[in-house]
Structure 1
């Protein structure tokens, strides 16, 4: 595999594009029709989250603190970069993929948890297992669940206070720009940028993992339409990403092409774009919320 340079200029250019477009969209938000603003804001927030994912895996430089600083502005508002980084690296322990106990990004629950859930909570889990539910209420669901878990960590004295302090500083900087300089209301930012941006991110992750007895069979590939491939920085090629997490976004399609020729498994799930996923599961639950192999 080709070595990664000390500074990945395509990713530096990506950072400049995302932040420049975000600054422009917020500065001139009042000139944008209300129906159009979320169509601009949501992709920018999602694109930034995709950039954060690149930073977690060591891009665009070999200097960890610099990568974290470049990725640290919390455009989604609800998740600190440091906690996202640590939980995502835990998610990459492939032997535990989808395990609701060990994988912090799993949407499954254990049979024991399910037995204790109230009927409304069971309904909620089933709703977010359909694509429409994941997109419409998924951001509130994942943010609420995350914040509840973080609150419990505070009570138990296990919170990552440094990550939250860095997050508070970044959120303060972001909101100073949005609310004071650009004179955008908080509700406008939440409804046109943060919430729908998180929703787009949940579109990418909706079908990328599923329970299976063998770890190698738990990850899927979505042959995304070109706009989504760029928006997700090719992370829709998720088998390739889990196979070699350090491959930068602009080399991942080539790596996937070679991997599929040489080492692809017959059991791999391949979706022909997000339209196929929507056809299957827009209003139908993709699977049971209860992990089938625990």
Structure 2
């Protein structure tokens, strides 16, 4: 029996808001204002991705199966929840954070794999290291890389992968039925605008979430004022706090940050931006760093690391990482 005292009601309320806005947009707004409806559905899909992230960390109840059911309808469509969970929990190994092979969410490339890329792909990756480029190209690159790596695992029947995709297929079937069958929205239209738009919004958060630093704690960002985006990201703008206290619910993070603000800043070496607007001003059209990892994987390496299951050529997990600025580039204004 579920212990109602242990339920995190703010998270359930946010789930209700997410599905309510999404459904209301599709059923009520789309017939008269399709552009507005798809925009609101994209925002809802981004919020849903944040809620999936919350769920994989053990929220909002102690029942993992029930939690998974709460986010089973894949509004962003691309990633099986269980694969996202597996890869993201590996990402939380801070000692290997940003490693091109060991961190499933790193955007850095190993030097050897970068040299093997064609000139067009290198150009796309350089553009992708700007904020605008990440919003436009990042979701497509991440989804393509994930599929390239995961579909052979599905074919080989690797443990847990087939089940994850089977559950995802069931969720997708439900999504198609609701979107196209009930709402009357072409599913390709939904994918192109609502689902892709949701992933693009999430890419604003993940763009500079991590950087290379010798101290693992210095690799994770703090954005002090998240604003509306901070709410949409469930306070993951305070990302260092989340990485150090991953079991804490999203609504506890601001108080935990405020209680030791200066200590958090010291802990991550001052990797702090005042707002997402500060990030946009600094890096909208300027890459934060070169594509190749500045310290790791510099030697020729022809063998991929199958412990994590990533493709060295173009690789980023469901929640992608970022490229890091140098210390002189940290924007605080």
TM-score when normalising by structure 1: 0.94
2:147 counterpart residue number: 147
1:91 counterpart residue number: 91
CA displacement 1:4-47 (0-9 Å, x = unmatched)? x5111111111111112211111124334243234312110000
1:21 counterpart residue number: 21
Matching of residues 1-294 of structure 1 within 5 Å: 6-158=6-158, 160-262=161-263, 264-265=265-266, 267-294=269-296
- Once structures 1 and 2 are overlaid, which stretch shifts more, 134-143 or 145-154? 145-154
CA displacement 1:244-266 (0-9 Å, x = unmatched)? 01111111100111232445416
2:320 counterpart residue number: none
Counterparts of 2:266 and 2:34, CA distance in 1 = 47
Work out whether residues 226 and 235 of structure 2, in 8 Å CA contact, stay in contact via their aligned partners in 1. Answer: no
Q: Secondary structure at the match of 1:222?
A: strand
Work out whether residues 240 and 259 of structure 1, in 8 Å CA contact, stay in contact via their aligned partners in 2. Answer: no
- Once structures 1 and 2 are overlaid, which stretch shifts more, 146-155 or 207-216? 146-155
Counterparts of 1:274 and 1:264, CA distance in 2 = 17
Shift of 1:188: 2.3
Work out whether residues 208 and 222 of structure 1, in 8 Å CA contact, stay in contact via their aligned partners in 2. Answer: no
Q: Where does the alignment leave 5 or more consecutive residues of structure 2 unmatched?
A: 297-333
- Once structures 1 and 2 are overlaid, which stretch shifts more, 233-242 or 23-32? 23-32
Shift of 1:228: 0.7
Shift of 1:156: 4.6
Shift of 1:174: 1.1
| RMSD over equivalenced CA pairs, Å | 1.7
Q: Secondary structure at the match of 2:35?
A: coil
CA displacement 1:90-145 (0-9 Å, x = unmatched)? 00011111111110000011111111111111111111111111111211111111
Q: Secondary structure at the match of 2:77?
A: coil
Q: Where does the alignment leave 5 or more consecutive residues of structure 1 unmatched?
A: none
- Once structures 1 and 2 are overlaid, which stretch shifts more, 152-161 or 19-28? 152-161
Q: Secondary structure at the match of 1:191?
A: helix
CA displacement 1:139-166 (0-9 Å, x = unmatched)? 1111111111112323554370000000
TM-score when normalising by structure 2: 0.84
Alignment: residue pair count: 291
Work out whether residues 29 and 184 of structure 1, in 8 Å CA contact, stay in contact via their aligned partners in 2. Answer: no
